[in-house]
Amino acid sequence: MALEGPVPGRHKIVLENRRILLIVSGGIAAVKVPDLIRRLRERGAAVRCVLTESGAQFVTPMSLAALSGDKVFQDLFSLTDESEMGHINLSREADIVLVAPATANIMAKMAYGMADDLATTALLATDKPVMIAPSMNVMMWEHAATQANLATLLDRGIHIVGPGAGDMACGEVGNGRMAEVADIVAALDGFFKSRREHGPLSGQSALVTSGPTHEPIDPVRYIANRSSGKQGHAIAAALADLGAKVTLVSGPTQEPDPAGVTVTAVETAEQMLTACTAAKPFDIAVCAAAVADWRVADSTTSKIKKTGDTPPALSLTENPDILATLAKAGKDRPHLVIGFAAETENVIDNGSAKRNAKNCDWIVANDVSAGFGGDSNTVHLITEDGADSWPTLSKQAVAERLATHIADHINKS
């Protein structure tokens, strides 16, 4: 069955912004991979490819790079590739690892934990879900060794799509034909849909704030900060992936709206507080937004003109404290309230002090001494039990780790 074009509706919603690491091993079915990449990207997914040495006999790195819009990785011992995107990060920055086609050889290596090239090393190093689309001769598929390897992989939680039955390149007929592109897309769609419907946070509602706030001085100027919104948006997506019903209240940002999340756009701190209050009740609150502490008390409706050498005096007034407001005791207080503390020094001590002052349950203390708004964070999760210091991680990885901690806490409560 061929796909004629983009499929509207749930496929796009579920696969939009998903990060797929596609491992292409050596088999004639690899010629279907360019079409698979095209269909995934039509649905908004980001695809990054690892091409094995044998896979390169059937498709070229240039064709995969052109279709995916990303670099194709091949060599485990490439100094350039390892410095730009080490095999550990390569294997963990995706939402799912897809092996298509999955030959008998790579399935055997996966079953036995071999890591003799980039593809198998990435598979052994990943902590993300893995899906395989087997493709091989019918006799190879039915061989006891392959079936034993398959049983091992399934027992480890590997997901499988196909194989189908039909004519093969070798001239034989039977099982072993790689699933059609439409079936692989549907399997990925079904995986993410199921994870949201049956995840550890299904039945829970969450509020996430993200981005900066813009506090107007006049119609053309404002007070703001360097927050990009990347961390807050990633947290909203991670909570939704675990099944939570998520409302994201975001200040001005260039980040795309996470799939499956209700988004309310605001500009000022007062607007953000109003939106958060309107979203009640919710079970979890994560205040990741970098809310301006102050606003101009007497902002004007007309542009302030430069007159002489004396700058205008700005009178500032304190903005509402959204985190403290949400954490305030009461019948509608969320079960878990988490704040962020952007610090440049004494990160843990200052984060702990903020946790106590705001009456929130957890603080994610973020060391921003190296810069604000980048793609990675160095954080410390501060709870009543103390501080858990995490290594420097991508913001997606921070979000996923935090979401997992939240799910564990909620399910133990």
d(CA 394, CA 380): 14
- Give the Cβ contact number of residue 81 at 10 Å: 18
296-302-308-314 Cα dihedral, nearest 10 degrees: -10
Q: Which of 47, 50, 46, 72 is nearest to 61 (CA)?
A: 72
List of E strands, 228-313: 245-250, 262-265, 284-287, 294-296
Among 49, 170, 287, 360, the one annotated catalytic: 170
Q: Count of H helices and E strands in the chain?
A: 15, 22
DSSP reduced 3-state for 209: strand
Residue pair 46/17 in contact (Cβ under 8 Å)? The answer is yes
Residue pair 284/239 in contact (Cβ under 8 Å)? The answer is yes
Q: Which long-range contacts (CB under 8 A, 24 or more apart) does 271-276 make?
A: 272/209, 272/213, 272/322, 273/320, 273/322, 273/325, 275/249, 276/207, 276/209, 276/249, 276/322, 276/325, 276/326
List of E strands, 150-261: 159-160, 164-167, 173-177, 205-210, 215-218, 221-223, 245-250
The verdict on whether 170 is a catalytic residue reads yes
* Cis geometry, peptide bond prior to residue 281 (ω within 30 degrees of 0): yes
Structure tokens at 330: 């009461």
Q: Which residues are catalytic?
A: 170
